Amino acid sequence: MKPRHRKLAIIVSGVSALGIAAALVLNAFESNMVFFFSPSQVAANEAPRGKSFRIGGLVEEGSIKRQSDGVTVNFVVTDTAKVIPVVYTGILPDLFKEGKGVVAQGKLSADGVFRADEVLAKHDENYMPPEAAGALEQARIQKTVMTQ
Amino acid sequence: MIPELGNFALILALLLAITQGTLPIIGAARGIPSWIALARPVVQGQFVFLAIAFGCLAYSFVNNDFSVMNVARNSNSELPIQYRIAASWGSHEGSLLLWVFMLSAWSVAVSVFSRHLPDEMVARVLGVMGLVSVGFILFLLVTSNPFDRLLPAAFEGSDLNPLLQDPGMVIHPPMLYMGYVGFSVAFAFAIAALISGEMDAAWARWSRPWTTVAWVFLTIGIMLGSWWAYYELGWGGWWFWDPVENASFLPWLVGTALVHSLAVTEKRGSFKSWTVLLAICAFSLSLLGTFLVRSGVLTSVHAFATDPARGVFILAFLVIVIGSSLLLFAWRAPKVGLGGKFDLVSRESMLLANNLLLMVAAGSVLLGTLYPLIMDSLDLGKISVGPPYFEAVFVPLMTPAIFLMGLGPLARWKQASLPELMLRLRWAFGVSVVTALLMPFIMGEWKPLVSFGLLLAFWVIATIFVSIRQRLHNSGQGGLFTKLARQSRSYYSMHLAHFGIAVFIIGVTLVNGYETEKDVRMEIGSTVEMGGYTFRFNGASPVSGPNYQAMRGDIDVLHNGEKIRVMQPEKRTYNASGMAMTEPAIDTGFLRDLYVALGEPLEDGAWVVRVYHKPFVDWIWFGCLLMAFGGILAVTDRRYRLKVHTKHVETATVADDKRVASNPRLSTGGKKA
């Protein structure tokens, strides 16, 4: 091979390797993005079925119920306008409390119950997850619009 | 009085930093010896005043001066003394003060250990570090003064976040910051080289140990953070791809590329512009990391403070630093030159390939970390990118990198032969394949991914053996130990760090492949079986700590019917903040960890208990320690210690460079030679 050809070969292989890497990264990115929906959006059927997504809001007062196995917990997430029933099996974070902000990731089942495989409550007593705060704010605006 | 003294010292430090950032650089450009000579004393003066400022802050914390806002917000009179000291860098303001304090400590180190460097060079390097310091001290004084008073004084402080009340958290931030800030030295050297347009093998040899030391600190800092998350957050993971973790991992990836690229620049005179670019990137990502964690833009554990003024200031600072250094790079890099040529198959080309893979990996982490923030700030919807993305990207990118990691050290510089390499490594390859296929059976179950992970690890270990064997074979007469002693420390350091990677991979592979996690309801006297161990729950009883109340569980661990250990996990509630905290109990072993944590209390003294069996999990952190030791060994290499020897090497490398430059085969940048 002439040096010029060799150089060309290197450049071509380098560029195609970078191209493959970029395609790989973007493909993985595309398929692993998790979207966030507020309880109102879920109620309006905006959330996908059969795909994982996140919900957030407040844990409704008096809604936490533990099933007899001790590790499965039912609770309700509200944005003060709409609610979603959630079921989760496992240990909840330390700061998971009724009336406090929460974000959960999972899938919506056919019966309208959100099956969470991850529950996040943030590690500061007075800290509200921004997603949850956003959902509450959105619902408040909606209500004001409707009452006017 | 003491806080005002601290504030005053900080202002004086700012004035010195401004002097440091201007006069020596101008002096070096205009050739004014007295201005150049200013660099060292000013650096040392700045260090003294920052030490006073930091001491004043620590004093206020130790003495519970709740008339200082920062103390009132982040400490409490019940807080044990070691955490009161640690609280001085637990807050946003305090941690930034620690940042500039460390920057000045690194600057002093440069000013002391640079006697053999040309004075102009030292003046430029210290000048650049002074400019960085100006930015940070201004930021402290303008937006986040740690000495702000709270009037009237609070009667009691609102406590340090309980998560931070832990020995790991006392040393994790200083280590991490030493790493972040350490890259400022490499950055300053790179900028100095761009300004002067002089960049040779000697330049690489000066900046190499500094970069390695920074890399070692960063490695240990990340390791401590991962270990802390494992035992303190209470759910037993060791890495979450949380933006805060990514923020520290990004400079690590680029820093790793930089360490290797510097090696090429020192030994072969190649990769010059690339090295400079990496040094700029590594420090920029350190700044970005500080920005992400400290401005409150993230929605994660560390986002304690939210204040837009701070965010805007750091963002502006970031734009100025990164923008101006990249502009300087674009303008001056052609002067620096491309350096030596090398062949398609050579150690250089393999190192370049690994550099690119590390940079693509860093790019993908950056994308996954920043994209959700950008989407959110543009109101395009809230998304999150979790561990599945990073895992899907990382494994395919790191696989060829680790394969090349085994190949590279055996390949010749400049021109290597692929068939010859294959011949030399056929046994290493065979042995690693067979071991990787068989090992999973010992663990009890064959899994393809486990075999694959082990293959990478064993490949690295096998190639290290081959490399050392052949090296000894080629190093003349003498017994085994004479030959072993003849090899340089930097040679061993490379293999030690690579061996650390192998150990790390083994840990990750086996813990991912064979861990067992159970969240179970346990009544008093009930048992759970896992990994050959029996856990018996004897109930939980109240205990009180210095600043918290807790329920302490009592769990017997039985192995082959014999009680081997009592584990006492706690569920704590901190008095001052009322915050709940899970404190797991961990039985650490060479081959496995047993991990129990209390969940929630149920009726009749029963609890939900989390029981984990984690094989080889400690190998993950042990591997990181080996990498760090490798780095430490590298900087103790004799060529950094002996100045007489240094000169000799310098001339040799320059001669090398000329020989390489006269070979018109290939150029790094694809430019016609």
- Report the C-alpha gap between B172 and B89 in whole angstroms: 11
CATH architecture of residue range(s) A36-147: Beta Barrel (2.40)
Distance from CA of B401 to the nearest CA of A (A): 13
Give the CA-trace dihedral at B216, B217, B220, B222, to 10 degrees.
-110
- For residue B598, is it within any domain? yes
Q: Which residues of B touch A90 (CB under 8 A)?
A: 519
For A118, half-sphere exposure in the C-beta direction (CA atoms, 13 angstrom radius) is: 14
Are A98 and A59 spatial neighbours (Cβ–Cβ below 8 Å)? yes
Number of CB pairs, chain A paired with chain B, less than 8 A apart:
115
Q: Which residues of A touch B611 (CB under 8 A)?
A: none
- Cβ within 8 Å of A, B 309-348: 344
CATH code, domain with B259: 1.20.120
Q: Which SS3 state, helix, strand or coil, does residue B67 take?
A: coil
**B135 has pLDDT over 90:** yes
Q: Where are the beta strands (DSSP E) in B482-561?
A: 516-522, 527-530, 533-544, 548-559
Task: Give Cα B604 distance to the centre of its chain.
Answer: 47
The domain spans of chain A are: 1-33, 36-147
The residue among B99, B128, B161 that closes a domain is: B161
pLDDT at position A2 is 64
Helix, strand, coil percentages in chain B from 3-state DSSP, rounded to 5: 65, 10, 20
Clarify whether residues B296 and B187 are in a common domain: yes
- For residue B38, is it within any domain? yes
Q: Give the pairing of strands B548-559 and B562-567.
A: antiparallel
CB contact under 8 A, A125 and B579: yes
Clarify whether residues B568 and B593 are in a common domain: yes
Confidence of residue B646 (pLDDT cuts 50, 70, 90): very low
Select the highest-mean-pLDDT range: B48-62, B520-534, B576-590. B48-62
> Alpha carbon of B554 to those of B234, B542, B560: distances in Å?
17, 11, 20
CB contact under 8 A, A125 and B600: no
CB contact under 8 A, B666 and A3: yes
State the best of A5, A6, A12, A25 to mutate against chain B, taking most chain B CBs within 10 Å: A25
- Tens digit of each residue's pLDDT (9 = 90 or more) over A21-36: 888 888 888 888 888 8
> Average pLDDT for residues B579-601, to the nearest whole number?
89
Q: Which residues of A touch B599 (CB under 8 A)?
A: 71, 91-92
**A77 has pLDDT over 70:** yes
Residue B519 near chain A (CB below 8 Å): yes
Q: Which residues of A touch B368 (CB under 8 A)?
A: 29
CB contact under 8 A, B397 and A21: yes
DSSP string, B339-385: -----SSSHHHHHHHHHHHHHHHHHHHHHHHHHHHHHHHTTS--EEE
Residue B367 near chain A (CB below 8 Å): yes
Q: Which residues of B touch A47 (CB under 8 A)?
A: none
Nearest Cα residue in chain A from B667: A7
Q: Give the pairing of strands B580-583 and A72-78.
A: unpaired
Confidence of residue B27 (pLDDT cuts 50, 70, 90): very high
- Report the C-alpha gap between B143 and B125 in whole angstroms: 27
CB contact under 8 A, B301 and A91: no
- Report the C-alpha gap between B628 and B618 in whole angstroms: 16
Q: Which of B356, B520, B664 sits opposite A71 (nearest CB)?
A: B520
CB contact under 8 A, B384 and A34: yes
Nearest Cα residue in chain B from A18: B360
Spatial neighbors of A34 by CB under 8 A, at least 6 apart, are A52, A53, A54, A105, B383, B384, B385, B386
**B609 has pLDDT over 50:** yes
Q: Which of B386, B521, B577 sits opposite A34 (nearest CB)?
A: B386
CB contact under 8 A, A122 and B397: no
- Tens digit of each residue's pLDDT (9 = 90 or more) over B533-583: 999 999 999 999 888 999 999 999 999 889 999 999 999 988 887 788 888
- Report the C-alpha gap between B623 and B620 in whole angstroms: 5
* ipTM of the predicted assembly exceeds 0.85: no
**B655 has pLDDT over 80:** no
Clarify whether residues B201 and B230 are in a common domain: yes
**B130 has pLDDT over 60:** yes
CB contact under 8 A, B381 and A33: no
pLDDT at position B19 is 95
**How deeply is B373 buried, as exposed, middle or buried, from its count of CB atoms within 10 A (0-12, 13-18, 19+)?**
middle
> Average pLDDT for residues B524-528, to the nearest whole number?
91
- Cβ within 8 Å of B, A 72-131: 89-92, 94-95, 105, 122-125, 127, 129-131
CB contact under 8 A, A25 and B363: yes
Clarify whether residues B176 and B33 are in a common domain: no
The residue among B125, B140, B161 that closes a domain is: B161
Are A129 and A96 spatial neighbours (Cβ–Cβ below 8 Å)? no
pLDDT at position B403 is 93
Residue type, B416: A
Residue B578 near chain A (CB below 8 Å): yes
- For residue B94, is it within any domain? yes
- Report the C-alpha gap between A129 and A131 in whole angstroms: 5
Give the CA-trace dihedral at A36, A41, A42, A43, to 10 degrees.
170
- Tens digit of each residue's pLDDT (9 = 90 or more) over A54-65: 988 888 888 899
Nearest Cα residue in chain A from B388: A32
**B308 has pLDDT over 70:** no
Clarify whether residues B498 and B590 are in a common domain: no
- For residue B486, is it within any domain? yes
pLDDT at position B338 is 64
> Average pLDDT for residues B486-503, to the nearest whole number?
92
Query: Which residue is associated with the tokens 């402080």?
Result: B157
CB contact under 8 A, A91 and B599: yes
Are B582 and A94 spatial neighbours (Cβ–Cβ below 8 Å)? yes
> How many domains does chain B contain in total?
4
Q: Which SS3 state, helix, strand or coil, does residue B552 take?
A: strand
Q: Which residues of B touch A92 (CB under 8 A)?
A: 599-600
Q: Where are the beta strands (DSSP E) in B12-60?
A: none
> Average pLDDT for residues B83-97, to the nearest whole number?
87
- Tens digit of each residue's pLDDT (9 = 90 or more) over B365-406: 999 988 888 887 777 777 888 888 999 898 989 999 999 999
**B659 has pLDDT over 80:** no
- Tens digit of each residue's pLDDT (9 = 90 or more) over B141-167: 988 888 988 888 887 887 777 777 888
Residue A66 near chain B (CB below 8 Å): yes
- Cβ within 8 Å of A, B 140-169: 161, 163
Clarify whether residues B114 and B179 are in a common domain: no
> Average pLDDT for residues A125-139, to the nearest whole number?
63
Select the highest-mean-pLDDT range: B26-40, B297-311, B369-383. B26-40
**Terminal Cα distance for chain B, rounded:** 66
- For residue B467, is it within any domain? yes
CB contact under 8 A, A33 and B577: no
Q: Which of B197, B186, B187, B201 is nearest to B332 (CA)?
A: B197
Strand partners, A31: none
- Report the C-alpha gap between B275 and B669 in whole angstroms: 13
Residue type, B425: L
Residue ranges making up the domain that contains B253 = 166-352+642-673
CB contact under 8 A, B581 and A94: yes
Clarify whether residues B144 and B181 are in a common domain: no
Clarify whether residues B138 and B7 are in a common domain: yes
- For residue B585, is it within any domain? yes
